[in-house]
Amino acid sequence: MSHRILFFNYDVMTLDLNRVTIIGRCASDLDVKKIESTGASVVNFTVATNRKYKNKDGNLLEEAEYHRCVAYGNSADVLGKYLVKGKKVYVEGRLKTRKWQDSNGNDRYSTEIIVENFIFLDAKGPQGEDHDHPPMDDDHGSLPTDDLPF
């Protein structure tokens, strides 16, 4: 068995990676807004992820972590239209920390996931319709039955 070693034209020690992947449930209602200066859409929402574990006494515990997410442009429009509170979603993006000031003038920081990719994971849509399979005609398609070879 031979092994291949790949060499790159850059020093691996200088590479950085800012990548976040979560799967959880939407924990907030979405409200798409427009950025005044550019007219681009933006939506803020929260995704909850749960972790189950046993403590030292053997009791099963569950804790939730809440992740602030921000999407821009077409992603914001699609998320705002189809993602509703309680629905499962895959979110991939990068972390960004914003600095802002509260009403008392104190500096505050918020770390958010800037959404780059997402996938709706629930099989049913907001009104309960099934999206796994396209609707079929009553005659189960339009195949001619008289020309079948069996």
Measured from the Cβ of residue 64, the count of other Cβ atoms closer than 10 Å reads 11
- In angstroms and rounded to an integer, the radius of gyration of the C-alpha atoms of the chain is 23
Q: Average pLDDT for residues 9-30, to the nearest whole number?
A: 86
Domains of the chain (ranges, CATH numbers): 17-120 (2.40.50.140)
Name the strand (E) or helix (H) holding 110: strand 107-120
Give residue 3's pLDDT band: very low, low, confident or very high (50, 70, 90).
low
Asked whether the predicted pLDDT for residue 148 surpasses 50, the reply is: no
- pTM value is 0.71
The per-residue pLDDT for range 33-84, each reduced to its tens digit, is 999 999 999 999 999 999 999 999 999 999 999 999 999 999 999 999 999 9
Looking at residue 83, what is its pLDDT? Answer: 96
Give residue 9's pLDDT band: very low, low, confident or very high (50, 70, 90).
low
Q: Average pLDDT for residues 2-16, to the nearest whole number?
A: 66
The per-residue pLDDT for range 90-147, each reduced to its tens digit, is 999 999 999 999 999 999 999 999 999 999 998 765 555 544 433 333 443 434 445 4
For the four alpha carbons of 48, 26, 113 and 92, in that order, the dihedral sign comes to positive
Looking at residue 15, what is its pLDDT? Answer: 80
